[in-house]
Chain A
């Protein structure tokens, strides 16, 4: 152990950030959990400790079930959609192609736009009006002989449609990640596999794919945590409508419309837990991996 004189100044310099993270991240997460375990269901009451009652009780509310189902469908469609599309685009560009820079720039630019602005365009595109009243994609689909859809107003598949703008926005990012992953595969490895008699497909399966696993995992984590807390996009596309409710919007309604802090805190806690459950193992794993190398 080096002497304290050498490391103490560093610790002091980071101290403000340590305090800030301690208070604003961990302190407030704890505060929020504690609030979720009280019966403070209005702005004025003190709130007494009720344990996990709120966490159990919320499952009696149909709206909660609906918002959880919606979040799951949104997450599955968004994560898989962005992952597959991003991978596919990277796969097509992997070996280099004329105009690659332009392609990349176009696929990636939606990342620079806010979810709110994205939501506004896509609300127009996914307008559920049909026939004479159709605008957006329905009008276009009608013109080229495709069926018209309810889009995000569809009671069963609405959240799958809601994932489309999110896929539009994030698949370029996934493409960039995969492209970096593809390019990170040493050419000698591919060559060695070819010498061993692997066809191009074999090289891909046995050499490239395994090496893409870390990138795939990163992309999954990033997409997953964006998805579980999705808020801006839903609000911009459909506001507070029940038909597209998700936990983050439900929480907003609980805080500002129902004025029920304990309920808002309970929903927020569930959102945190749903993300923490896969992010914490991932972080521990990646820090350990970095230390090994």
Chain B
């Protein structure tokens, strides 16, 4: 131990320096976002691009908020019910596929998993046609195609694979004896789920809700294909605001931050669960 200590300490020092250097690089975009968003229009000239604002102003934030608010609200209407529904479905599926297996459950699970990796472009055109059809069938214009319900439906369905996977991998760790004991007591499948499985599901529920909330909030592809201007979520509105030539950088950056606040908050407050969701994404329980 003592013999290697000096070399070890030098190595640790070098590691620390490199890690800190990468922290600086990783935070450059954050610096740009914050600094630019607080600049008045008079300081928009390229020469001052990296400077701190001379006069700090929240004007860009105010304008960005006005433009983005409807989108943020749509995103709430999309992400909250969407993640809760996904959670309910995933929990039931995960329960059955781990504790109440039927013949062919493994094959079915593999077929589900492929749904996690399909590029959604491959289903987009038929999906649009189906939702248009549902609008006509129900007579509800702008609900399925063009509206938030249709978008929620799409996200919940295509979220089934990942949510099932997370719950299944979690439920596998519940001892079979617990389930058996409940069965012996005469409880059926649903009773067992309700009284034995659900009460211990909190960690998996947290992981799934956070994962789904983040993916629904950040989604752009489904939103751009399936929704109309009335129901555009924050990502689409953000892209439109930033894509307009006339929008000053300060407003673009403020809008980008505003749209990221909910997911950033989740990340900061519930990072542990966020991490577990990411790991599940790698097919590792």
Contact = CB atoms under 8 A, between A and B. Distances in A.
A28 B279 contact: no
A81 interface: no
B102 A7 contact: yes
A164 to B, nearest CB: 10
A160 interface: no
Contacts, number: 262
Interface string A256-293: 00000100110111011001100110011011000100
A120 B253 contact: yes
24 contacts: A7-B101, A10-B101, A11-B102, A13-B95, A14-B102, A17-B160, A24-B154, A25-B118, A26-B111, A32-B122, A32-B124, A110-B26, A110-B29, A112-B266, A116-B259, A120-B238, A124-B252, A140-B50, A177-B279, A180-B279, A271-B119, A272-B122, A283-B114, A291-B106
Interface in B228-270: 235, 238-239, 242-243, 249, 252-253, 255-257, 259-260, 263-264, 266-267
B155 to A, nearest CB: 11
Contacts of B255: 120
Contacts of A112: 214, 260, 263-264, 266-267, 274
Contact of A29 (B22, B28, B103, B123): B123
Interface stretch (A89-97, A151-159, A204-212): A89-97
B278 interface: yes
Interface string A195-218: 000000000000000000001001
Contact of B220 (A105, A116, A251, A276): A116
A185 interface: no
Interface stretch (A51-59, A62-70, A227-235): A227-235
Contact of B283 (A106, A218, A247): A218
Given A261-B125, A271-B121, A13 B264 contact: no
Nearest to A284: B110
A134 interface: yes
B173 interface: no
Interface of A: 1, 7-11, 13-14, 16-18, 20-21, 24-29, 31-32, 35, 89, 92-93, 97-98, 103, 105-118, 120-125, 129, 132-136, 139-140, 143, 168, 172-173, 176-177, 180, 215, 218-219, 221-222, 225, 228-229, 231-232, 235-236, 239, 247-248, 251-252, 255, 261, 264-265, 267-269, 271-272, 275-276, 279-280, 283-284, 286-287, 291
B207 to A, nearest CB: 14
Which of B89, B119, B130, B266 has its CB near the most chain A CB atoms (within 10 A)? B119
Given A112-B214, A121-B253, A173-B278, A229 B119 contact: yes
Contacts of B257: 117
Contacts of A26: 111
A157 B214 CA distance: 32
B217 A114 contact: yes
Interface string B90-121: 00110111001111001011111111011111
- Interface of chain B, main secondary structure: helix
B143 interface: no
B189 A271 contact: no
Nearest to A100: B19
A235 B243 CA distance: 9
A125 to B, nearest CB: 6
Nearest to B20: A103
Which of B95, B101, B125, B266 has its CB near the most chain A CB atoms (within 10 A)? B125
B113 A283 contact: yes
Interface stretch (B10-18, B52-60, B134-142, B144-152): B10-18
B206 to A, nearest CB: 15
Given A17-B112, A114-B220, A139-B47, 20 more contacts: A8-B102, A9-B190, A13-B100, A20-B157, A28-B122, A28-B126, A28-B130, A32-B126, A107-B23, A111-B267, A112-B260, A115-B218, A117-B256, A121-B33, A173-B278, A218-B284, A232-B221, A252-B225, A271-B121, A272-B122
Contacts of A17: 89, 92-93, 112, 160, 164
Given A112-B214, A218-B284, A21 B115 contact: yes
Contacts of B26: 106-107, 110, 168, 172
Contacts of A172: 26
